[in-house]
């Protein structure tokens, strides 16, 4: 919610590209209504494409950056 995972993803992408690879950053679709996000004072999401299951088949490797709450995965990924 506060951009920590996006910041980590950008650092990972920079490292992969520095080593000669390529990387694409995706985000998972938001499941909360806009009204709820506004009440939470959630900042805008980064401008990354929303991933579809078929997108994952295009890549040789996948890194997941997941913000957790009490060590649990968010509902969008369960």
Q: Using one digit for the tens of pLDDT, what is the confidence trace for 8-67?
A: 999 999 999 999 999 999 998 888 899 998 998 988 888 999 999 999 999 999 998 887
Instruction: Categorize the per-residue pLDDT at 7 as very low, low, confident or very high, splitting at 50, 70 and 90.
Output: very high
Whether the full predicted model's pTM is greater than 0.95, yes or no, is no
The upper half-sphere exposure of residue 70, i.e. CA atoms within 13 Å in the direction of its Cβ, equals 0
| Angle, CA of 16, 19 and 20, to the nearest 5° | 90
Instruction: Categorize the per-residue pLDDT at 68 as very low, low, confident or very high, splitting at 50, 70 and 90.
Output: confident
């Amino acid at each position: 919610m506060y951009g920590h995972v996006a910041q980590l993803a950008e650092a990972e992408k920079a490292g992969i590209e520095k080593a000669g690879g390529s990387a694409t950053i995706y985000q998972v679709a938001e499941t909360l209504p806009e009204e709820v996000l506004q009440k939470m004072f959630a900042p805008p999401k980064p401008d990354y494409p929303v991933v579809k299951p078929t997108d994952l088949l295009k890549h040789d490797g996948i890194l997941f950056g997941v913000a957790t709450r009490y060590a649990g995965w968010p509902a969008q990924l369960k």
